[in-house]
Chain A
Amino acid sequence: MRAVWRASRAAVKRRRLQTFVLALVVMISTVTVVVTLGLLAAVSGPFDRVYAAAKGAHVVAEFDRSKVTDAQLAQAAKDPAVAAVAGPFPQLVFHQSVAVGARPINVPGIMTVVGRADPHGPVDDLTLSTGRWPSAPGEIVLRQPGFFKAVPLPIDLVTPGEPTLRIVGFANSAGQSADAWVTPDEARALGATSTQMQYRFHSAGTDADLKTGLAAATKGLPADALTGSHDYLALKAKLASGPSAYLPFLTVFGILGLIVSVLIVGNVVSGAVVSGFRHIGILKAMGFTPDQVTVVYLLIVTLPAAVGCVLGTVFGAALGTWLVNQVFYGIQGAELIDGAAGVPATVYPAVLIGMPAVVVLAALMPAFRARRLPAAVAISAGSAQRAGRGLAVQRRLGGSRLPRAISLGLGWPFARPARTLLTLSAVVAGVTTVTLAIGMAGSTFRFGELHRRTDQVYFTTGSGSPADPAPTHTDAQIDALIRAQPGVLRVAADASVETRIAGSTATIWAGVIRGDYGAIQAPLVQGRWATAPGEVTVDSEYRHQFGLTVGQTIRMLDASGAEVPEKIVGEGPGWHIATPDWQSFIGLNPQGRAATFYVTLAKGADPAAVIAAIGGQDPGLHGAVDGESKTSEKTFLSIITTLTIMLSIVASLGVLNTVVLNTRERRRDLGTLKAIGMTPGQVIAMVVTAMTALGTLGGLIGVPLGILAHRIVIPLTMHGIQEETPDSMLDVWNWAGLVLLTLSGAVIAATGAYLPSIRASRAPVAEVLRTE
């Protein structure tokens, strides 16, 4: 075995460049694979883990207390389909509550308050982030994310028509089962009108499972007792939208990377066998068994592949961990999995074993060729004899009007069809990657445009704290004030409110809008902007989650707690639901006024002058030039760019590897050509022409494949973030761009061929001809 090891090590040392190329290619592929697998795991892994640990409810249901008793609910929940149950808990809803204290905090306009004796239990194990659990009348705990730890307590919660309650702590519910908790007695004392039940089912993977489970858990109850419910899949889908946006293209890039790696590995080993016939013959003549020869040639690639794999795993872990955390940025509810997202540990052994295994598999066929080769033939051949393929093409090229160096170069790819096919595939993969990446970049810009407002300036009205005083003008006065400024074209305003729609216990984020809102916002996917009370616009994500359609009428809880019918008239970006019914809903906003004013200016107007003028008239208005950070777009583009550069390098290295093999194998031919007068420039032209022709063909094949991949990946990406795919996001190509993309294959190939061609042109002829 020591002899095998020595022979392998010597062979690796002799092929330093190819060894380096192989290690680099495997490293880059490994990085892509680790990142992709990490993201794949992040789609549901962290959520599932955290949610299971918190015993999060699969379904939170709300029942009418006048129609069903606690005993009936408890009895029905004993159905075998139910794995665990929490409740019955008395429940009520607060409207327009305000938190009053040294440091005021925002509270939802509509709060679901549940009476619960213990934060822990078989379902919905609450995490108390600060303070304590309510133990006496007049005490309440609010649901707030973990970062609310820093808020000093106590704070009082003042609700119109209700007694003032003291906030004694903050807790978080994985399933967002309520906005606040009091003792059960307090809930009943406050006039609970409904009962909350929380269920975990044995089978809860799909909507259908949950519907079946809920039906089983409510079997035998009065038909109209169940007044609303929400399930965990909506929250899970929302969190999954982060990684899901990246997964389709990362998967495609990962697959392309693997294909290129396998092609290059196959090429390296077959090249090593072809150019190493004498080496094989000598090994066999020395007494190496066929198995040992096979092992030698497998080790030639396995050693660099192992190094590349380990390095790739290290880099992939760093990049993957960063990206996995990045993709959840800005998603509502992402605090649930804060610190839980990362590349799963299982990925590393899988990659560390899997990648070298792929390399070995790719190397097996040529290694077996070495195994079968008779020693005498191998030694006498020196290198593989070319059987003279593609000769008719060579002949025709020889008779063409092209300079001979060019026509000879064009004939090269036909001499080794299998190798040419492998190289062509690497170039095709490279061009496909570049095409897909450029298409993705175009679609990303288009996505940004579709979601970009047209305002140049915006004003916020502050939080209302002493350090951040409210404006002295009313919303209507501010609107008029801004419109009076020279250069102002349009003004719109909005404020966020939390509310619910009938039939669901889930909280929704609604925007109350006014002014020229539709004209300033990005275009709608379908329908039109709501312009009058009784009309709403929904965003695509919300519409998908709840299966809503444009034209459908829903009932929303307004500031007074009444259910107001609202017709969906359009679908577009922004809030879950946008309503212009200022009268009915602004009361749900903690400040009860517009939070932001958006201003579109005429061409040439000075944003700074407008900001200064308005700020001078009302110090409570904080103006800023609208330069949206577009963090997600930047992240998206930077990842695409990085992967594209990496895969283009890999494809170029694939070409470089082929040219190194070709020029090594054709040392004698090159020496002969130089001996009969071919200049170094002609040698370079010949070698580069050979690969450029291949690259151009690769471009012609790769561009349509890239466009096809783009047509698949973009809708999948949009589906991942639960949005429709407008045609404009797919129509990102133009003819000039496509021609340039087609030439990218030639560029990739020429780049890969240039260095080895220079080396070939400088090879000492006398030495070459002597040693051959």
Chain B
Amino acid sequence: MTQTRNADGRGGDDGGADDGGAGERDAVVRLVNVRKDFGNHPALDGVSLEITAGESVAVMGPSGSGKSTLLNLVSGLDRATAGSVVVGGEDLGRLTEKGLALFRRRRIGMIFQFFNLLDDLPALDNIALAGQLVGMKARPARRQALDLMDRLGIADRRDIYPASLSGGERQRVATARALMNKPSLLLADEPTGALDSESGDQVMRLLADLNRLGQTVLVVTHDPRVAARCADRVIEVVDGLIARDHRTEAGSASVTGGASADTNAGSASVTGEAPADTNAAELRRTVR
């Protein structure tokens, strides 16, 4: 898998092999000696890491280890007590609340364990909302949202409200919403945690496909299967410290191979009935 760099620093996919080292690519995320305290308790204790464009990284660790805190710091949902968090070239510590909001809407796409869709809006409007927040008019925002739904195989659910969607469908709506503004970084917090195994598989494939197409992905999970299938790099956090940071060849292989295999097996909800190559092209447009 070869990563190229867009003008705005987003990763792209030319379909070639990935042989570039991390140091040669842009760092989308750079944490230096980051500390986060809750009261007297340090949730993160001097963490430093770097994620480059196009990487798919899984953060793993036991409950309370600090992995969600790490995600919140990277997404700008929370502020570090000490240290520096730079995402997409933005030093988040220097941003105001409004600046953080603007940063999130333009640079970050977030997928949550419990979807966090707005119950009062149908699936289409939940997705379009993200576009409208960056100033898109309602009609083009809905058109783009529908386009995304189509590519994620849920176009027929456009008028359905979240309460009537299955877990997998909800997470795909949430994913579409996260992709609406073409983020530099897609963050997923236990994206399969609230799903049955089949829906979980669909979401894992989707994340893997997106990464294969160049989307930088950071997934927080406690499930080794998710890490293995979605990530080419795993960071293990224990007691607020990075205990291990390693690459997973199997994961990358499984994603590449698995996606094609699963798609061919009829993963209509992700890619429809079209061949994997067509899906890849459509998702590529999404990511770009």
A interface list, Cβ under 8 A from B: 385-386, 388, 390-391, 394-395, 398-401, 404, 408, 411, 415, 668-669, 671-682, 762, 764-766, 769-770, 772
Residues in B90-149 with C-beta less than 8 Å from chain A: 97-98, 101-102, 104-106, 108, 110, 112, 114, 116-122, 125, 128-130, 132-134, 137-139, 142
User: Do A404 and B129 have beta carbons less than 8 Å apart?
Assistant: yes
Given contacts A388-B119, A391-B122, A398-B121, are A679 and B102 in contact (CB under 8 A)?
A: yes
Candidates A394, A669, A674; contact of B101 at CB < 8 Å: A674
User: Do B98 and A668 have beta carbons less than 8 Å apart?
Assistant: no
Residues of chain B lying within 8 A (CB to CB) of residue A679: 97-98, 101-102
Given contacts A398-B138, A766-B72, are A672 and B118 in contact (CB under 8 A)?
A: yes
Given contacts A391-B122, A671-B116, A679-B101, are A769 and B77 in contact (CB under 8 A)?
A: yes
B interface list, Cβ under 8 A from A: 68-69, 72, 75, 77-78, 97-98, 101-102, 104-106, 108, 110, 112, 114, 116-122, 125, 128-130, 132-134, 137-139, 142, 161, 163, 177-178, 181
Residues of chain A lying within 8 A (CB to CB) of residue B97: 679-680, 762
User: Do B104 and A676 have beta carbons less than 8 Å apart?
Assistant: yes
Residues of chain B lying within 8 A (CB to CB) of residue A674: 77, 101, 104
Interface contacts beyond A678-B133, A770-B68: sample of 7 additional A-B pairs, CB < 8 Å, sorted by A:
A385-B163, A395-B121, A399-B139, A404-B133, A674-B101, A681-B98, A772-B114
Residues of chain A lying within 8 A (CB to CB) of residue B178: 676
Majority secondary structure of chain A interface residues (helix, strand, loop or mixed): helix
User: Do A676 and B161 have beta carbons less than 8 Å apart?
Assistant: no
Residues of chain B lying within 8 A (CB to CB) of residue A672: 112, 116-118
**Of B114, B133, B161, which is in contact with the most chain A CB atoms at under 10 Å from its CB?**
B133
Output the least CB separation between A80 and chain B (Å). 77
Which residue of chain A lies nearest to B129 when distances are taken between CB atoms in the complex?
A: A404
Query: What is the bound-complex CA distance between A98 and B102, given in angstroms?
Result: 93
Query: What is the bound-complex CA distance between A673 and B119, given in angstroms?
Result: 12
Output the least CB separation between B253 and chain A (Å). 33
User: Do B118 and A669 have beta carbons less than 8 Å apart?
Assistant: yes
Residues of chain A lying within 8 A (CB to CB) of residue B117: 672
**Of A398, A678, A682, which is in contact with the most chain B CB atoms at under 10 Å from its CB?**
A398
Candidates A391, A673, A677, A772; contact of B106 at CB < 8 Å: A677
Majority secondary structure of chain B interface residues (helix, strand, loop or mixed): helix
Shortest Cβ-Cβ A-B pairs, 5 listed: A677-B105, A404-B132, A766-B72, A679-B101, A672-B116
**Complex A-B: 17 CB contacts under 8 Å:** A386-B120, A395-B122, A398-B121, A398-B138, A399-B138, A399-B139, A411-B120, A675-B110, A677-B105, A677-B134, A678-B105, A679-B102, A680-B97, A682-B101, A762-B97, A765-B77, A769-B77
Given contacts A391-B120, A394-B120, A415-B120, are A677 and B137 in contact (CB under 8 A)?
A: no
Output the least CB separation between B219 and chain A (Å). 16
Residues of chain A lying within 8 A (CB to CB) of residue B122: 391, 395
Query: What is the bound-complex CA distance between A400 and B125, given in angstroms?
Result: 12
User: Do A391 and B105 have beta carbons less than 8 Å apart?
Assistant: no
A to B contact number (C-beta, < 8 Å)? 98
Candidates A398, A678, A762, A764; contact of B78 at CB < 8 Å: A764
Query: What is the bound-complex CA distance between A454 and B101, given in angstroms?
Result: 66
Candidates A386, A388, A398; contact of B125 at CB < 8 Å: A398
User: Do A394 and B121 have beta carbons less than 8 Å apart?
Assistant: yes
Query: What is the bound-complex CA distance between A385 and B163, given in angstroms?
Result: 9
User: Do A399 and B119 have beta carbons less than 8 Å apart?
Assistant: no
**Of B78, B117, B120, which is in contact with the most chain A CB atoms at under 10 Å from its CB?**
B120
Given contacts A395-B122, A398-B125, are A676 and B105 in contact (CB under 8 A)?
A: yes
Given contacts A391-B161, A400-B138, A404-B132, are A678 and B120 in contact (CB under 8 A)?
A: no
User: Do B138 and A675 have beta carbons less than 8 Å apart?
Assistant: no
Which residue of chain A lies nearest to B103 when distances are taken between CB atoms in the complex?
A: A677
User: Do B142 and A399 have beta carbons less than 8 Å apart?
Assistant: yes
User: Do A675 and B98 have beta carbons less than 8 Å apart?
Assistant: no
Residues of chain B lying within 8 A (CB to CB) of residue A766: 69, 72, 77-78
Which residue of chain A lies nearest to B116 when distances are taken between CB atoms in the complex?
A: A672
Query: What is the bound-complex CA distance between A385 and B128, given in angstroms?
Result: 23
Output the least CB separation between A359 and chain B (Å). 32
Which residue of chain B lies nearest to A404 when distances are taken between CB atoms in the complex?
A: B132
Given contacts A676-B104, A679-B101, are A769 and B116 in contact (CB under 8 A)?
A: yes
Given contacts A676-B104, A676-B105, A677-B105, are A769 and B133 in contact (CB under 8 A)?
A: no
Residues of chain B lying within 8 A (CB to CB) of residue A386: 119-120
Candidates B114, B128, B161; contact of A398 at CB < 8 Å: B128
Candidates B116, B120, B134; contact of A668 at CB < 8 Å: B116
Which residue of chain A lies nearest to B128 when distances are taken between CB atoms in the complex?
A: A398
Query: What is the bound-complex CA distance between A765 and B104, given in angstroms?
Result: 12
Which residue of chain B lies nearest to A761 when distances are taken between CB atoms in the complex?
A: B97
Residues of chain A lying within 8 A (CB to CB) of residue B163: 385, 388
Residues of chain B lying within 8 A (CB to CB) of residue A673: 118
User: Do A678 and B125 have beta carbons less than 8 Å apart?
Assistant: no
Candidates A394, A675, A682; contact of B116 at CB < 8 Å: A675
Residues of chain A lying within 8 A (CB to CB) of residue B138: 398-401
Candidates B114, B119, B121, B133; contact of A676 at CB < 8 Å: B133
Residues of chain B lying within 8 A (CB to CB) of residue A388: 119-120, 161, 163
Which residue of chain B lies nearest to A765 when distances are taken between CB atoms in the complex?
A: B77
**Of B78, B121, B177, which is in contact with the most chain A CB atoms at under 10 Å from its CB?**
B121
Given contacts A388-B163, A394-B121, are A677 and B101 in contact (CB under 8 A)?
A: yes
Output the least CB separation between B50 and chain A (Å). 22
Residues of chain B lying within 8 A (CB to CB) of residue A399: 138-139, 142
Residues of chain A lying within 8 A (CB to CB) of residue B142: 399
Query: What is the bound-complex CA distance between A677 and B106, given in angstroms?
Result: 8
User: Do A677 and B133 have beta carbons less than 8 Å apart?
Assistant: yes
Given contacts A391-B161, A770-B68, are A677 and B130 in contact (CB under 8 A)?
A: yes
Residues of chain A lying within 8 A (CB to CB) of residue B112: 672, 675, 769
Query: What is the bound-complex CA distance between A333 and B91, given in angstroms?
Result: 82
Output the least CB separation between A686 and chain B (Å). 11
Residues of chain A lying within 8 A (CB to CB) of residue B119: 385-386, 388, 669
Query: What is the bound-complex CA distance between A768 and B72, given in angstroms?
Result: 12
Residues of chain B lying within 8 A (CB to CB) of residue A765: 77-78
Candidates A394, A675, A682; contact of B104 at CB < 8 Å: A675
Output the least CB separation between B94 and chain A (Å). 17
Query: What is the bound-complex CA distance between A671 and B75, given in angstroms?
Result: 13
Output the least CB separation between A721 and chain B (Å). 54
Query: What is the bound-complex CA distance between A765 and B75, given in angstroms?
Result: 11
User: Do B137 and A401 have beta carbons less than 8 Å apart?
Assistant: yes
Output the least CB separation between A202 and chain B (Å). 70
**Of A391, A400, A675, which is in contact with the most chain B CB atoms at under 10 Å from its CB?**
A675
Query: What is the bound-complex CA distance between A411 and B122, given in angstroms?
Result: 13
User: Do A675 and B77 have beta carbons less than 8 Å apart?
Assistant: yes
Which residue of chain A lies nearest to B134 when distances are taken between CB atoms in the complex?
A: A677
Query: What is the bound-complex CA distance between A677 and B181, given in angstroms?
Result: 11
Residues of chain A lying within 8 A (CB to CB) of residue B133: 404, 676-678, 682
Output the least CB separation between B157 and chain A (Å). 15
Output the least CB separation between B220 and chain A (Å). 12
Output the least CB separation between A684 and chain B (Å). 11
Residues of chain B lying within 8 A (CB to CB) of residue A682: 101, 133
Residues of chain B lying within 8 A (CB to CB) of residue A671: 116
Output the least CB separation between B142 and chain A (Å). 7
Output the least CB separation between B96 and chain A (Å). 9
Output the least CB separation between B97 and chain A (Å). 5
Query: What is the bound-complex CA distance between A682 and B101, given in angstroms?
Result: 10
Residues of chain B lying within 8 A (CB to CB) of residue A390: 120
Query: What is the bound-complex CA distance between A603 and B154, given in angstroms?
Result: 84
Residues of chain A lying within 8 A (CB to CB) of residue B75: 675
Query: What is the bound-complex CA distance between A759 and B151, given in angstroms?
Result: 39
Query: What is the bound-complex CA distance between A559 and B139, given in angstroms?
Result: 93
Output the least CB separation between A398 and chain B (Å). 4
Which residue of chain A lies nearest to B97 when distances are taken between CB atoms in the complex?
A: A680
Output the least CB separation between B143 and chain A (Å). 12
Query: What is the bound-complex CA distance between A65 and B65, given in angstroms?
Result: 112
Residues of chain A lying within 8 A (CB to CB) of residue B120: 386, 388, 390-391, 394, 411, 415
**Of B114, B134, B138, which is in contact with the most chain A CB atoms at under 10 Å from its CB?**
B138
